[in-house]
């Protein structure tokens, strides 16, 4: 959860946000999207703040470009110069480019334009690609995909050996459901396909769906300020300005709760109201609705809205309205009695050590629930079939804009692929991806430090059959 729970920042690194009008750039034969991307790439590769700022001044539609300029400079510091290897997809308003980075790695950049005359940039986003020497050949069939995934995982050795469960389904049929490694190293208890794993931030999806269900029933309104539902919220200015919509999209400026203050009071955190009592006097970090900043505390507040609007405790609401309808019998805020729950292990100078005693967070509407790979497959099926959320509201949840181009309402958005969520904390890394274009669902749960699941997910996505 929080900064620790942000594998999406490498899985789907944000390169740039909004753009606006621009003059004609690039080669005459290039599409408008490629012309704009080449212009951005020239500025990016300069590593020069004034050049990058000039690009965003030209394409920024009058908005202040400070965040975008700072982001490009930080990103360039990590990647060095980038060069286009090939254009994988190209249209007037959309391209996907495979890139070489100066640091010797590869990445993929996606550009979307709102319009072409004049060109208006909706988003430029990128994510890393596995290195060629680690990447198996692209699978030719689902059976071949399962074989290649097993071979890739089996080749991981020693302290880096994969530990967890991988479930891949195609058009509703399970292609692979297999476990590796140990849930408890000392007792030599192996992971199994029904082992429960910590989800970290992944259950933010449950929170978002709960809120949207209540929106559909008229109990909550997306553009209402949270003060309408939490009239006693300590910071009245925050409550009067931050909306439900902004909390869902991490644009409310409500910050994190993983702070030294939380560490001091962690044992006292038994209800969502306890979090509000501890952090409710804080002001917003920026004007709500003007920028994206991942906020664990924002999803605590969404959990409180669920409780107020439904008159149920958050955990019970999720069980009644998501887990029950989806058939998810082995998902809960605590490990299930009689079921094996994987102990998290972190790398230390002395080898792998359990994280239970050093890093344990109470489960909440921001994360920390437990589930199995098969239960999450049932969740994906219920989500796609409209069992837990109407198709119209799911479509709204998967809509991005210039302020939050990689996140909708409780879901990360993977350009041209699909949607899902990640989870990460010491001794826990999880990935959940629904890929409607190809018909695949990929679920990876691990009891190891990030980026074990994220790296494995990158490989699987790169070798999916065409």
Peptide bond into 451 cis (omega under 30): yes
Same domain, 137 and 97: no
Same domain, 152 and 109: no
What's the N-to-C CA distance of the chain in angstroms?
Answer: 34
With a cut of 70, say whether residue 2 has pLDDT above it: no
With a cut of 50, say whether residue 3 has pLDDT above it: no
Same domain, 442 and 455: yes
Q: What CATH number corresponds to the domain at position 75?
A: 3.10.450
Same domain, 115 and 234: no
**The domain boundary residue, chosen from 88, 112, 129:** 129
Q: What is the pLDDT of residues 196-245, one digit of tens each?
A: 999 999 999 999 999 999 999 999 999 999 999 999 999 999 999 999 99
Closest of 247, 148, 183 to residue 456, by C-alpha: 148
Same domain, 297 and 192: yes
Q: What is the pLDDT of residues 363-385, one digit of tens each?
A: 899 999 999 999 999 999 999 99
In 142-267 the beta strands, taken as DSSP E runs, fall at: 164-170, 173-180, 182-184, 189-190, 197-198
Q: What pLDDT is stored for residue 358 in this prediction?
A: 44
Q: What is the pLDDT of residues 329-364, one digit of tens each?
A: 999 998 877 677 999 999 888 889 998 644 456 789
Same domain, 14 and 97: yes
Q: What CA–CA distance (Å, rounded) separates 357 from 360?
A: 7
pLDDT, mean over the chain: 87
| Contact present, 109 and 124 (Cβ < 8 Å) | yes
Same domain, 378 and 304: yes
**What is the pLDDT confidence band of residue 260, given thresholds at 50, 70 and 90?**
confident
Same domain, 19 and 152: no
Q: What is the mean pLDDT of residues 185-199?
A: 95
H helices present in 49-200, as ranges: 49-59, 66-79, 142-154
Q: Estimate the crossing angle of helix 66-79 against helix 49-59, to 10 degrees.
A: 130
Q: Between 130 and 241, whose confidence is greater?
A: 241
Same domain, 97 and 160: no
Q: What CATH number corresponds to the domain at position 140?
A: 3.40.710.10
DSSP 335: P
**The domain boundary residue, chosen from 96, 129, 162:** 129
Q: Distances in Å between the alpha carbon of 108 and those of 14, 125, 140, 299, 418?
A: 12, 8, 22, 30, 15
User: Which pTM does this prediction carry?
Assistant: 0.81
Same domain, 140 and 105: no
Closest of 130, 155, 156 to residue 10, by C-alpha: 130
Range of the domain at 243: 133-466
Same domain, 119 and 160: no
Helix, strand, coil percent content, the chain, rounded in steps of 5 = 35, 25, 40
**What is the pLDDT confidence band of residue 87, given thresholds at 50, 70 and 90?**
confident
User: Taking the CB of residue 2, how many other CB atoms lie within 10 A of it?
Assistant: 22
Same domain, 251 and 153: yes
**What is the pLDDT confidence band of residue 7, given thresholds at 50, 70 and 90?**
very low
**What is the pLDDT confidence band of residue 6, given thresholds at 50, 70 and 90?**
very low
Q: What pLDDT is stored for residue 11 in this prediction?
A: 40
Q: Distances in Å between the alpha carbon of 152 and those of 17, 97, 149, 424, 456?
A: 35, 26, 5, 22, 9
Number of domains in the chain: 2
With a cut of 60, say whether residue 13 has pLDDT above it: no
Q: Distances in Å between the alpha carbon of 133 and those of 130, 240, 455?
A: 8, 54, 14
**The domain boundary residue, chosen from 76, 94, 129:** 129
Q: What is the pLDDT of residues 224-235, one digit of tens each?
A: 999 999 999 999
């Amino acid at each position: 959860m929080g900064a620790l729970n942000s594998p999406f920042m490498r899985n789907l690194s944000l390169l740039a946000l909004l753009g606006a009008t621009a003059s004609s750039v690039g080669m005459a034969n290039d599409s408008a999207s490629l012309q704009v991307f080449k212009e951005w790439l020239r500025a990016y590769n300069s590593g020069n703040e004034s050049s990058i700022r000039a690009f965003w001044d030209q394409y920024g539609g009058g908005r202040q470009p400070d965040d975008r300029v700072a982001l490009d400079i930080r990103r360039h510091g990590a990647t060095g110069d980038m060069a286009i290897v090939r254009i994988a997809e190209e249209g007037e308003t959309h391209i996907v480019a495979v890139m070489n980075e100066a640091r010797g790695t590869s990445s993929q950049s996606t550009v979307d334009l709102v319009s072409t005359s004049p060109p208006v940039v909706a988003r430029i986003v990128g994510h890393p690609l596995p290195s060629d020497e680690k990447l198996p050949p692209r699978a030719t069939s689902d059976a071949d995909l399962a074989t290649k995934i097993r071979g890739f995982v089996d080749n991981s050795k020693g302290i880096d050996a994969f530990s967890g469960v991988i479930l891949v389904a195609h058009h509703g049929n399970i292609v692979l459901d297999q476990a590796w490694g140990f849930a408890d190293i000392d007792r030599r208890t192996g992971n199994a396909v029904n082992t429960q794993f910590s989800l970290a931030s992944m259950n933010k999806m449950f929170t978002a769906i709960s809120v949207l269900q209540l929106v559909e029933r008229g109990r909550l309104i997306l553009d209402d300020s949270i003060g309408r539902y939490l009239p006693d919220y300590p910071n009245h200015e925050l409550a009067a300005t931050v909306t439900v919509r902004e909390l869902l999209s991490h644009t409310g400026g409500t910050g994190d709760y993983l702070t030294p203050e939380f560490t001091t009071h962690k044992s006292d955190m038994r209800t969502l109201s306890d979090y509000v009592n501890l952090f409710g006097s804080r002001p917003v970090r920026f004007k709500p609705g003007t920028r994206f900043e991942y906020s664990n505390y924002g999803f605590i507040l969404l959990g409180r809205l669920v409780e107020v609007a439904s008159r149920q405790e958050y955990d019970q609401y999720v069980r009644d309205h998501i887990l029950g309808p989806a058939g998810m019998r082995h998902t809960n805020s605590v490990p299930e009695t009689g079921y094996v729950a994987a102990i998290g292990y972190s790398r230390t100078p002395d080898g792998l050590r359990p994280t239970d005693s050093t890093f344990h967070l109470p489960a909440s509407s921001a994360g920390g629930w437990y589930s199995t790979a098969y239960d999450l497959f049932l969740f994906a099926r219920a989500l796609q079939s409209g069992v837990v959320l109407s198709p119209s509201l799911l479509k709204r949840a998967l809509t991005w804009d210039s302020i939050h181009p990689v996140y909708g309402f409780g879901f990360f958005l993977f350009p041209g692929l699909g949607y899902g969520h990640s989870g990460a904390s010491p001794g826990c890394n999880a990935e959940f991806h629904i890929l409607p274009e190809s018909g695949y669902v990929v679920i990876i749960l691990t009891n190891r430090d990030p980026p074990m699941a994220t790296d494995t997910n990158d490989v699987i996505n790169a070798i999916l059959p065409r």
